[in-house]
Structure 1
Amino acid sequence: MTGKLYLVPTPLDFGCTDEHPPAPVSAWLPANTLAVAAGLQHWIAENAKSTRAFLKRVGAEAPLAAPLQTLQITELPRAAHKKGDHLPTTASDAQARSLLQAALEGHDMGLVSEAGMPAIADPGSAIVRAAHALGIPVVPLTGPISLMLALAGSGLNGQHFAFVGYVPQEPAERARRLRELETQALKSGQTQILIETPYRNAALLQALLQNLQANTRLAVACGLTLPNQTIRSALVSEWRKTASPHDNPTLKAPAIFMLGR
């Protein structure tokens, strides 16, 4: 009998709050998710340090099955952090299988990223593929997923959408890509969802306002689930009437950008 692979979501406040201590994880994670996480002793993580911090918060809500320092936490390969692991390759799939050895020996395992649901806009897809190939049951747990929270709060088409990740940083290439995404959105009605590193959020918003048509709807969700959360959805023409994006302090938090009809 193999163990199970649990996909364990984490709060969206990682690195984004000055609260000391941070708010209890029970504010975002239901009791069942906390109970499963507390019972796991084998983990595959994006970052071991942040995973220990997360499990310490879990332990404050539900007793851990073993002392924190004895839990086995293995980090995903560095390439998965930098380039993602969503595209199947022989190397990434072989590495993923090796990380699931504890599950093959009958132990339940947890897959976790730094914020939100692993394998969605975060690494972990290779681990999930490998688990399916090895006959290890995959069990996603309930918790916050920033992309879905943002889309639900945008007023844009939630029946037909695409997550396109990051756009180029070079201005000319970025402008070309944004116009391409806008054409797709306006032609098909498909909402386009994109993200950026927080320190480049203001630059991306400025590029969107410079390159999109006035009648395109643009929505930006910043700091989701945090005390300073903001969601704004308006036509580009309305966005252009407001102050410069560089004057918006909430853009320093993780943000989701969406455009469409």
Structure 2
Amino acid sequence: MEPALYLIPVTLGETEYQKVLPEYNRKIILGIKNFIVENRRSAIRFLKLSDSSIDIDSLEFLELNEHSDLAKISNYLDPLLKRKLPMGIISEAGCPAVADPGATVVEIAQKKGLKVVPLSGPSSMIMAVMASGLNGQSFAFNGYLPVKPNERAAKIRQLENRAWNEKQTQLFIEAPYRNLKMLESILNSCRNETRVCVAAGLTTEQEFIRTLSVAEWKKTNEPPINKVPAIFLIYRG
């Protein structure tokens, strides 16, 4: 197996592995012994989901998250850099290095001239754009918005202006338990003509995707998005 840093996507929730991930990924996983993961426990669950015969005790895991020592991260790639061993990055959900701490390691790998191989898998951001009916030619992901209501409302209006003036779809996320508050903020902050898509629980049994104008959202029942991972998208009417 070629020595490289393999970016291994995972399921977005309680979804059958075969439904969203190709068999090729499983073959790559079986050839890797050194993993950089956001959370060791969830990474092990995913590896067992991909192949129940995997010997977890034979694997090495390095955690990369908000608690990691930044000074040590540059050494995470030593198995690949010094011993020419293939390595894999596993995120908590979806694709590594996209709105994910794995980006730090990928940056280091590129600077060191190491080969980086992104594997195919589900990306909630791309899938949300695909299903939204909004502009898929020009879009921007903005991560989390401010938590304080006034600051959040100001940021939403700023993104709405970009959506109208630049004809660019604006994407952002929120902690799942605050989804309904976020939708309320959007509806209170945006003009009635602005289109809003809520894409929640993608690829799972809880999947909900709907695009309406702000005026139309105000007339609908509360969507089933509480405590479900979601992407919010806004675009001009």
Q: Provide TM-score, normalisation by structure 2.
A: 0.94
Determine the structure 2 residue equivalent to 1:139: 117
Amino acid paired to 1:147: M
Q: How many aligned positions are there?
A: 234
Do the aligned partners of 1:43 and 1:109 also contact (CA within 8 Å) in 2?
Answer: yes
Confirm or deny that 1:98 pairs with 2:98.
Answer: no
- Give runs of aligned pairs for residues 84-163 of structure 1, distance below 5 A: 92=70, 94-104=71-81, 105-163=83-141
SS in 2 for 1:118: coil
Confirm or deny that 1:192 pairs with 2:167.
Answer: no
- Please list the CA deviations of residues 13-59 of structure 1 after superposition, one character each: whole Å capped at 9, or x if unmatched: 1xxx4xxxxx5312211011111012211000000010011111111
Once the 2 structures are TM-superposed, how far is the Cα of residue 78 of structure 1 from its aligned partner?
Answer: 2.6
Amino acid paired to 1:170: K
Amino acid paired to 2:57: Q
Do the aligned partners of 1:213 and 1:236 also contact (CA within 8 Å) in 2?
Answer: yes
Determine the structure 1 residue equivalent to 2:224: 249
Confirm or deny that 1:27 pairs with 2:27.
Answer: no
Segments of 5+ residues of structure 2 without an aligned counterpart are: none
Do the aligned partners of 2:40 and 2:63 also contact (CA within 8 Å) in 1?
Answer: yes
- Give runs of aligned pairs for residues 26-65 of structure 1, distance below 5 A: 26-60=18-52, 63-64=53-54
Do the aligned partners of 1:6 and 1:111 also contact (CA within 8 Å) in 2?
Answer: yes
Could you say if the C-alpha distance between residues 154 and 108 of structure 1 is closer, same or farther in structure 2, counting changes exceeding 3 Å? Answer: same
Distance 1:71 1:106 in 2: 16
Do the aligned partners of 2:33 and 2:87 also contact (CA within 8 Å) in 1?
Answer: yes
Distance 1:96 1:144 in 2: 26
Moved more, 23-32 or 42-51: 23-32
Amino acid paired to 1:252: K
Could you say if the C-alpha distance between residues 155 and 35 of structure 1 is closer, same or farther in structure 2, counting changes exceeding 3 Å? Answer: same
Determine the structure 1 residue equivalent to 2:61: 73
Do the aligned partners of 1:9 and 1:115 also contact (CA within 8 Å) in 2?
Answer: yes
Determine the structure 1 residue equivalent to 2:7: 7
* CA-based RMSD: 1.6
Determine the structure 2 residue equivalent to 1:87: none
Q: Provide TM-score, normalisation by structure 1.
A: 0.86
Could you say if the C-alpha distance between residues 77 and 216 of structure 1 is closer, same or farther in structure 2, counting changes exceeding 3 Å? Answer: closer
Counting aligned pairs with the same residue, the percent is 41
- Please list the CA deviations of residues 130-174 of structure 1 after superposition, one character each: whole Å capped at 9, or x if unmatched: 111122100000000110000100011010010001111111111
Distance 1:77 1:212 in 2: 34
Confirm or deny that 1:230 pairs with 2:208.
Answer: yes
Once the 2 structures are TM-superposed, how far is the Cα of residue 79 of structure 1 from its aligned partner?
Answer: 4.6
Do the aligned partners of 1:38 and 1:55 also contact (CA within 8 Å) in 2?
Answer: no
